[in-house]
Amino acid sequence: MPLRSILTLLVAISFAALFSQAPEFMQQYYQRIGGAVDELQRITNQFDDNARKLGHDRTSALGIMSSNPQPLIQGLAQLEKGTAERLERLGKQRAYLNEARSFDRFTYLLTNYDPPLARATWRAFEPAIPLTQAGLGFAFAGFALSLLSISGIGFAVRRFTAATA
């Protein structure tokens, strides 16, 4: 087997392994969403329970806190409001990812990921070769795309070389 063919095959296999990591990263990200949603829900429920004990719902309690002259109380209101908004956003994301197909999850996460959660997932990411249908599909896509890219580059170089000769 010529050296060029061996190198092409090694590059294609490398891309297959690289692309197969996409479903693994999505799985680890999805698991982190679950933990984040559970914790944010606990915090929000605690706030709502305290507000209810004092005769308020979340909206009125946040209104009272926001209009308080103390910057600390205003800051806590903003913090709780942000927590509730993030809970809603991550809850919707988790629901979508739970139902979506692998490629749809991938394209969704490219544009709708939660930056702090994605960074934490990346820092703790452990590569694996998933032997799921999605993992094998992404591996095949990486393999095929690398072969097509190598062929396209080779074709362009041959045309350029022929044109300048």
| Chain segment 3-37, per-residue pLDDT in tens | 777 788 788 888 888 888 888 899 899 999 999 99
Q: Cα dist. 106→43, 118, 129 in Å?
A: 29, 13, 17
Is residue 121 within 8 Å of residue 85, measured between CB atoms?
Answer: no
Is residue 41 within 8 Å of residue 56, measured between CB atoms?
Answer: no
Average confidence (pLDDT) over 138-163: 79
The CA distance from 100 to 18, in Å, is 22
User: With bands split at pLDDT 50, 70 and 90, how would you rate the model's confidence at 106?
Assistant: confident
User: With bands split at pLDDT 50, 70 and 90, how would you rate the model's confidence at 84?
Assistant: very high
- Distance separating the N- and C-terminal Cα atoms of the chain: 29
Residue carrying structure tokens 């170089």: 157
Q: What is the pLDDT of residue 1?
A: 67
Is residue 114 within 8 Å of residue 93, measured between CB atoms?
Answer: yes
pLDDT digits (tens, 9 = 90+) for 35-53: 999 999 999 999 999 999 9
